[in-house]
Structure 1
Amino acid sequence: MTAAQPPRATLRTLDEIKTYLAESPQPIFYISRSATNLLGVDRVVGGFRYVTLSDSWDGAHPNAFAPTNVPKLEPRGNLNVVNWLLANDQVQAYIRRSTPAGYTPQVVISMFDEESERLCRELGYELIMPPVRLRERLDSKIVTTQIGNDAGAQSVPNILTTVSGWDDLREQAAAAGLGDDLVVQLPYGDSGRTTFFVTSQADFDRVAGEISGGGSAAPEIKVMRRINHRSFAADAVITRAGTVVGPVLREITGHPELTQYKGGWAGSELYPGLISEQTRQRAVSLVQRFSDRLAEEGYRGTLGIDLLVDTDSGEVYLGELNPRITGSASHSNLQGLSTTPATGREATDAQTTLPMFAYHVLEYSGADFELDLDEIQAERGRALDGQTWSTLVIQHQRPATERTDVAPRTGRYRIGAGGSLEFLSPDLDWQEIDEPDEAFWFRSSGPGEIVSRGVDIGMLITRRRSQEEHHALNAETKRLIPSLLGKYEGKRLPTIQLYWRAGLRRLRGE
């Protein structure tokens, strides 16, 4: 099977790019546990499809597929889910019948490994993502810092080092002028689990085995000065015609109502006055400099960058690189409606701004194109500036492992008194939610599935702010979370079944 020919003419305008993406028969399959992060991309990319472990729409989405032969001991973890889906006969059959003659299926995956790459090669799929080896190297917080330094995208004052103990850490930090209040990061891993705050020997002793090797070879670590800051994030897409930068978002992290991990990511929000225009421009410039340098490493396509803004000095710092489709992608792929500057009236559907991931698809399409980056940023600004959006990832909160009996449907809800949620309609995505008293619930775990504490069950999208200025969840959000969780009903798994599942998982290496 060979890929069909891209258009011969160079795509020069946004309208030409939009028409090409909408009309191209090229099939693209997003393979994931849930479609959350790229929901709505199929509105503007004609060949886009979702292949997921379970059906979040109860059969209503024309561009989605979920196999029916999922075993009782379902695959767990992003990598296991993806590889199981790739190897599944029903999934392979769906991809074959959804691929026009003469086209090679293109595959999009957020988290994947060498096994995923091997399966794609053997099945004749084109995996349109940066390769695993490159992603793994760039994913290191050490490498990210070094590349950022080279690009003039500075991190919070830091040293990259190894330490033998508490006294060694203090001496090195003092020599670098980092002070006594330190943040220590390991090269790899979720920040909620691999970032440590160290101000005393007692703090150090609690994590010494991880940051000083515990008697074995000490890992290289990043030691930073602890600053007063606000956390932001921005997605970007690196193309041969330059880097497209998405909206600067405020991250929602560490709230125990949403995540069991201190510092764990649980969503993002966008609202007027989120960040000053001067700071936003500095953040966008930093992302562009860093991304342009990343392109020299061979990276193409989508990525996410965490940013830190020092609330004392106003300095914008590079935080972390996420060389993949990020959780913030759901926000970055909001399309919105462009407005006509002279009238302020909403434009037609044909003028909706492109979701960020559309530029990733364009980069891997084989088409020749030019991008007017200033025009793209202006268009996205007209479409999204002044809007308020929040995305909240909700986790199963009850301590017992349960099999779900009842789960709220994917769709539009009305927010009532006390945070009550009334189902309105089974919408496919959240792009048309336009009132603050409406919400969209995207269910990623449904009836019949087994959930335990900390497992994501879905995402709640609202046209409201979720956090106060001082970071705490606001009262409205605190009412919405239990309201949503209260719509789930399940039965606790018997102890013998828990042991059986745990034993089989150990045998399977999960």
Structure 2
Amino acid sequence: MDESSRLFAYITKKPLVYVCRDIERAFILPPDTEGYFIVTNDTPDGRAIKEKAVENVLLIKRSENENLISTDKLIEHPQTKKFLKKIGANSITVFKNDSQIEKSARNVGVKILNPSADMAQKIEDKISQVKWLGESARFLPKHEIRTLKDIKWDGKPFIIQFNHSYAGEGTHLIENERILNQFSEKFPNREIRKAKIIHGPVFTSNHAVTSNGVVHGNISYQITGLSPFTDNPFATVGNDFGLPKMILSKEQISKYREIAKEIGDKLSKEGYKGLFGIDIIMEEKSCKLYLLEINSRQTTNATFESGLQEHNNPGKLTIGQAHLMALLDIPVAGPVVEIRNGGQLVQRITKSWQEKNPRLRTRKLEEKGFRVFVTPYGSSGGKSGQEVVRIQNSDSLVVSHAKLNSTGREIAELLPINDVSVERLPKEATEIVDGYMSLFGKRCPCPYFNNTKGGVRASLKVSGGKGLPEEIEEEVGILMLRAHIDKEKMEAEDIRKFMIDHKIGVDCSGLSYNILNAVRKSRREKSLRRSLSYPYAKTPWRKIIARFRSIENTNVKTLAHDANSVQIKMQEVRPGDMITMIYEDKAVREYDHLLVVTEVERHDNEPIRIRYVNSVAWPSDGIYGHGVSEGVIHIEKPGEDITKQRWVEKGKEGEENYTLRKAKEAKVEVRRVNRC
């Protein structure tokens, strides 16, 4: 008998009831499973599910203007008591246990299967968690527990976390003394966890503590802080199961499992049972893993993971089934079904929230085949940061850290819930950018290459820093064959080191030329080779050579010349425009530089965020850290120069952002290539 079969055999004899405010939280099992029952609020999604599982679902109605009925009140509702008696259930499970839920359960005379509220809170709260972790606190970023009034600004940004937080809402970036003073004045005696800022991708995973040990779920990439889904840079807005295999090495995955096992073993010793989740960040510079968070409960993405597992391999063990078996003391050892793909995005209420009937906005998504869940928060007293819409897909939604793929972008475009419009590069150009960011289908950004430093003349485009992604992959493949190296067995970082050691990469003008040429192709305009002028080619012979070897003879000054492009105002910027940096002062020892605008977000027709891509080597990158990189310019001072705005790249801003430092020393213009 399969492990999951033991669960189904058990609940057909002893009914299992899940009580929750939002019905999607109960999809830890399919809602039409025999012996599995759900008590929840009467919502459109709830009614749609009840049509398919009439006997299994009890929907509790509320008044038209009433917010969602809380879990504790659902437990004590007269209809619930009658329902439990009818099916002969004397125990329930919930999404997240608390003291009020426990009180309601005692009043009704039912047992809660989840771990006690006191235990869960001790483990999950940011202050008590440090003490509970003990020796395992070594996995956390460098931190200290202090009251806010005792923290002094030392000139370096840091993170503060309040004791209670949910989905990143209790985490705040202290980037200057003014922000610190605002918190200190409002909560002077509040204890917080002060932590070092770690820049890099975040991963999350679900695990179940059972009587047989810890059953490990799949690692997913946590999509965090992406606009227009949230205003909060720390808020979770989705997760993706495809990206971790492109980002994490085998050694990092092994370290990740080591952290998860140690946390799970500690929970087991506490008498904890069922699901817990962990969030882990990979520091981009050192590639070291740090534990960010422990969720001592069912996580919000556990139902999505369980659904993907059921879809991919029906009848085999899911993480949701392992959770319920642990709560019911049914022996289970795992493993669960492996997931290689799939992603979800979450729209939260933002400052620019407009839509009062989100369901009207989601029909196009459903027509496209996405699975959509709409919560009632947007139309019934929703607060900033609350989830409104969840969109799920069986394929990945991101192509690299903090970057949606074409499917993810399609969701963002079909879900215009905020009054923020987003304009992006055409598909042909986006594929070029994605190719440079993820060579060989891995998280392998193309290294930076400067032809001036390399001393390469009359060479192949690839050898001169001008190759397209597919040309670079082909050349690297040939070099690896000659060296008897199997690239399929190499990690992304090893491939990058090989490329850098063999002087393969792309420079800023080569990157820009190929992207801009793809933009023109999408518009059915003349190619850059046929339309560019070469004002710096002084002889007829040089002009002929430039025409035939266009990309090799196109540098930043050529593209920024009035013969080839026109200067525009920052307010007019569009995807496909350039931000050029020309160093006119000979004392400044910098190479001219160029950024290509990939995305523009507007509010009231004014740009609020400009995203760009460039190929660059920062001094802090060392020998192997440089290459194609994406950044964002937050327009916080609309009437001022673009260099006065907030630039963020590689997690750095202000003086730590080398691209911005370069810009401040140069003549910076926003330019648009002439159309013809």
TM-score (norm 1): 0.71
Output the CA distance in 2 between the equivalents of 1:198 and 1:359: 40
2:246 match: secondary structure: coil
Q: Write out aligned runs for 1:274-293 (5 A).
A: 274-293=247-266
Q: Residue 6 of structure 1 aligns with which residue?
A: none
Q: Residue 61 of structure 1 aligns with which residue?
A: 52
Matched, 1:108 2:93: yes
- 1:127-171 Cα distance to aligned partner (Å, 9 max, x none): 11111111222222123233334237511122223353453x64x
Output the CA distance in 1 between the equivalents of 2:17 and 2:103: 17
Unaligned segments of structure 2, at least 5 residues: 418-676
Amino acid of the residue matched to residue 69 of structure 1? K
Q: Pick the aligned partner of 1:464 from 383, 395, 408.
A: 395
1:67 match: secondary structure: strand
Q: Write out aligned runs for 1:341-356 (5 A).
A: 349=314, 352-356=315-319
Q: Pick the aligned partner of 2:104 from 119, 124, 127.
A: 119
Amino acid of the residue matched to residue 133 of structure 2? G
Q: Which of structures 1 and 2 has the larger relative contact order (alpha carbons within 8 angstroms, sep 6+)? A: 1
Q: Residue 67 of structure 2 aligns with which residue?
A: 75
Q: Pick the aligned partner of 1:186 from 135, 149, 162.
A: 162
Q: Write out aligned runs for 1:6-155 (5 A).
A: 15-24=1-10, 25=12, 26-39=14-27, 41-42=29-30, 46-55=34-43, 56=45, 57-58=47-48, 59-62=50-53, 64-67=56-59, 69-76=61-68, 81-99=70-88, 104-151=89-136, 154-155=139-140
Measure how far apart 1:18 and its partner are: 2.0
Matched, 1:305 2:291: no
Output the CA distance in 1 between the equivalents of 2:377 and 2:199: 40
Measure how far apart 1:443 and its partner are: 3.3
Q: Residue 314 of structure 1 aligns with which residue?
A: 287
Q: Verify the 8 A CA contact 2:130 2:137 in the aligned structure 1.
A: no
Output the CA distance in 2 between the equivalents of 1:88 and 1:41: 24
Moved more, 453-462 or 396-405: 396-405
Q: Residue 10 of structure 1 aligns with which residue?
A: none
Q: Residue 564 of structure 2 aligns with which residue?
A: none
Amino acid of the residue matched to residue 334 of structure 1? G
1:324 match: secondary structure: coil
Q: How many matched pairs?
A: 410
Q: Verify the 8 A CA contact 2:377 2:387 in the aligned structure 1.
A: no
2:168 match: secondary structure: helix
Output the CA distance in 1 between the equivalents of 2:145 and 2:36: 42
Q: Residue 358 of structure 1 aligns with which residue?
A: 321
Q: Pick the aligned partner of 2:374 from 443, 446, 449.
A: 443
Q: Verify the 8 A CA contact 2:377 2:386 in the aligned structure 1.
A: no
Distance 1:18 1:265, change over 3 A: same
Q: Verify the 8 A CA contact 1:249 1:269 in the aligned structure 2.
A: yes
Q: Residue 205 of structure 2 aligns with which residue?
A: 234
Measure how far apart 1:394 and its partner are: 2.6
Q: Residue 223 of structure 1 aligns with which residue?
A: 194
2:307 match: secondary structure: coil
Q: Write out aligned runs for 1:367-406 (5 A).
A: 367=330, 369=331, 371=333, 376-377=334-335, 380-381=337-338, 384=339, 387-395=340-348, 404=357
Distance 1:181 1:243, change over 3 A: same
- 1:34-60 Cα distance to aligned partner (Å, 9 max, x none): 222342513796422222212414332
Measure how far apart 1:83 and its partner are: 1.9
Unaligned segments of structure 1, at least 5 residues: 1-14, 171-178, 339-345, 414-419, 424-436, 487-510
Q: Residue 429 of structure 1 aligns with which residue?
A: none
Q: Pick the aligned partner of 1:263 from 234, 253, 274.
A: 234
Q: Verify the 8 A CA contact 1:246 1:356 in the aligned structure 2.
A: yes
Distance 1:73 1:267, change over 3 A: same
Measure how far apart 1:88 and its partner are: 1.7
Output the CA distance in 2 between the equivalents of 1:268 and 1:320: 15
Output the CA distance in 2 between the equivalents of 1:405 and 1:160: 41
Amino acid of the residue matched to residue 300 of structure 2? G
Q: Verify the 8 A CA contact 1:21 1:45 in the aligned structure 2.
A: no
- 1:280-315 Cα distance to aligned partner (Å, 9 max, x none): 221122011012112223322111111111122222
Q: Residue 641 of structure 2 aligns with which residue?
A: none
Amino acid of the residue matched to residue 268 of structure 2? A
Q: Pick the aligned partner of 1:325 from 298, 304, 312.
A: 298
Output the CA distance in 2 between the equivalents of 1:300 and 1:354: 17
Measure how far apart 1:320 and its partner are: 0.9
Output the CA distance in 1 between the equivalents of 2:309 and 2:358: 36
Distance 1:166 1:335, change over 3 A: closer
Q: Verify the 8 A CA contact 2:141 2:196 in the aligned structure 1.
A: yes
Q: Verify the 8 A CA contact 2:347 2:387 in the aligned structure 1.
A: yes
TM-score (norm 2): 0.55
Measure how far apart 1:485 and its partner are: 5.3
Q: Verify the 8 A CA contact 1:398 1:452 in the aligned structure 2.
A: no
Measure how far apart 1:460 and its partner are: 0.9
